[in-house]
Structure 1
Amino acid sequence: MGVGEITQQIKLKLDPRTKFVLLFGVGSSCLMLPPFWLEIATFILLSLLLIASGRFRSVVKFAVILSAMISLDIIVVPNISGGGVSLFLSVARMARLILPIFMAAMLLLKTTSVSEFIISFERMRLPVKVIIPFSVMFRFIPTISEEWKSIRDAMRFRGIGISVKSVLTKPMMTLEYTMVPLLMSTATIADELAAASLSRGLDADTKRSCIGDIRLHGSDYLLMLFSVGSVIYGGLT
């Protein structure tokens, strides 16, 4: 049995509202400089949620990054002194704090459809003026990611690689060949997504129906409790 089959068997369906609370809870807790045990517990929890959502390879990459950061913290810090310690600790610590936030954002964006976002917003009693921009934004982010991959592939086909070396040696050419097409595509995509949202009746006054099962379960309440508890603990410590 492969990893994909295992993740399909343990797949966990979370309410989008729970993912929002988890993102804000993890973000607030990480910015409060949590203790190491809470940082590891948060990472393990998010890893399990991503694995249950079919993101096993992403979890492996995150685990390698976190292990490298912790190893550098243990090996490098005792061997340096002076201002270098403060600089290294600031950079390494900040990167470790951002990692759980990035994982929670991936869980929210990669495992939730636009329709689920809209239904969740409506059940939160948010006004239409808030629902439409948010629905466009959440569809906009993955679309821009796909557009960036297309631009990068097109540049490689023309023999122009996008790398750190190209940015340092030919910054203006790299900027022209990548950012200009991306910005032009961004403006077009934003207009198309806004028109598509309106054509689907998002601005209608009638109540929308949903064939999906969008409701809170026991696991949702437990995750919300963890998010709120980590923020409260971070505020008290």
Structure 2
Amino acid sequence: MFDVRLQFGLLLICGCLAIFVNETGSLVLAAIAILLLACQNQYRLGINWFLMYCGLLLARYLITNYLSDTFLNVFLLMLLIALKTLPTIIIASGLAKVPSGKLIASLQKLKVPESILLTFTVALRFFPILRAESKIIGENAKIRGISFKQSKNWLHPLQMFEYSMVPLLMRTIRLADDLSASATTRGIDAPCKKTSHYEIAFQPKDAVGLVAGLGMLSTLWIV
């Protein structure tokens, strides 16, 4: 994988550029972000993001050219926002695979304030764990016969929402507390100088990331 500091820099660059680039530039940013995942051997994750991005593009094309409705116009706006923000999310998903200790050690070298460091680290760990918890809740609901995968439950959407969302919200509160306690236990807020067994240094392969960063900057000139 690339140096975490480089990945973090690419995340910031992509997040800033996504605000200013046009649709073509946003497409280029998404392509670069997916290629970065492939360069880090995260092929499955890259393929999933590629399929999702293509699906959003297809939905936007169909609504723009073949459908016309007030409600669909609102949906189209949501699609455009998703297409704008997705490149940044793709890069962030790659950072979510970095071990917590390595991530913290790398950001400490960048002199990131402790409060921001704790928030960022917990956030990157929170969403993957939340997705796993959501999957477990869905499997338990399916066993009890209260899953949307069973057609008989389609007539009771509010009841299904209650059975799926209430447990997930309760788990979310507990997960946030657990992650914060775990970080505190590992000394994230200790006032002393911290050490790490991870070797934080740039490698020759990080040159690919630098080229990707230059490619992102070039999207500002795409018209």
Tell me, in whole angstroms, the C-alpha distance in 2 between the residues paired with 1:176 and 1:135: 30
Tell me, in whole angstroms, the C-alpha distance in 2 between the residues paired with 1:75 and 1:236: 25
Aligned residue number for residue 10 of structure 1? none
Tell me, in whole angstroms, the C-alpha distance in 2 between the residues paired with 1:71 and 1:186: 33
Q: Which amino acid counterpart does residue 15 of structure 1 have in structure 2?
A: D
Aligned residue number for residue 10 of structure 2? 22
Q: 2:126 aligns with which of 120, 129, 140?
A: 140
Does residue 212 in structure 1 map to residue 198 in structure 2?
A: yes
Tell me, in whole angstroms, the C-alpha distance in 2 between the residues paired with 1:189 and 1:60: 28
Aligned residue number for residue 5 of structure 1? none
Tell me, in whole angstroms, the C-alpha distance in 1 between the residues paired with 2:99 and 2:154: 38
Tell me, in whole angstroms, the C-alpha distance in 1 between the residues paired with 2:152 and 2:123: 31
Q: Secondary structure at the match of 1:126?
A: coil
Tell me, in whole angstroms, the C-alpha distance in 1 between the residues paired with 2:167 and 2:58: 40
Residue 178 to residue 68, structure 1, CA distance change in 2 (3 Å):
closer
Deviations 1:84-132 (A, max 9, x none): 99667645433432332221121121x2111122112211223333333
Tell me, in whole angstroms, the C-alpha distance in 2 between the residues paired with 1:47 and 1:188: 33
Q: Secondary structure at the match of 1:208?
A: coil
Q: Secondary structure at the match of 1:209?
A: coil
Superposition pairs for residues 72-151 of structure 1, below 5 Å? Answer: 77-78=64-65, 90-109=77-96, 111-151=97-137
Query: Is the CA contact (8 Å cut-off) linking 2:36 and 2:209 kept in structure 1?
Result: no
Aligned residue number for residue 174 of structure 2? 188
Superposition pairs for residues 154-193 of structure 1, below 5 Å? Answer: 154-162=140-148, 169-193=155-179
Number of residue pairs the alignment of both structures matches = 223
Tell me, in whole angstroms, the C-alpha distance in 1 between the residues paired with 2:21 and 2:154: 34
Q: 1:51 aligns with which of 23, 34, 38?
A: 38
Q: 2:22 aligns with which of 20, 29, 34?
A: 34
Query: Is the CA contact (8 Å cut-off) linking 1:77 and 1:85 kept in structure 2?
Result: no
Tell me, in whole angstroms, the C-alpha distance in 1 between the residues paired with 2:72 and 2:143: 43
Tell me, in whole angstroms, the C-alpha distance in 2 between the residues paired with 1:22 and 1:31: 15
Deviation at 1:146, TM superposition (A): 1.6
Name which of structure 1's ranges 171-180 and 113-122 shifts more when overlaid on structure 2: 171-180
TM-score, normalization: structure 1?
Answer: 0.73
Tell me, in whole angstroms, the C-alpha distance in 2 between the residues paired with 1:82 and 1:132: 45
Query: Is the CA contact (8 Å cut-off) linking 2:2 and 2:209 kept in structure 1?
Result: no
Superposition RMSD on alpha carbons, in Å?
3.6
TM-score, normalization: structure 2?
Answer: 0.77
Deviation at 1:228, TM superposition (A): 7.2
Residue 70 to residue 232, structure 1, CA distance change in 2 (3 Å):
closer
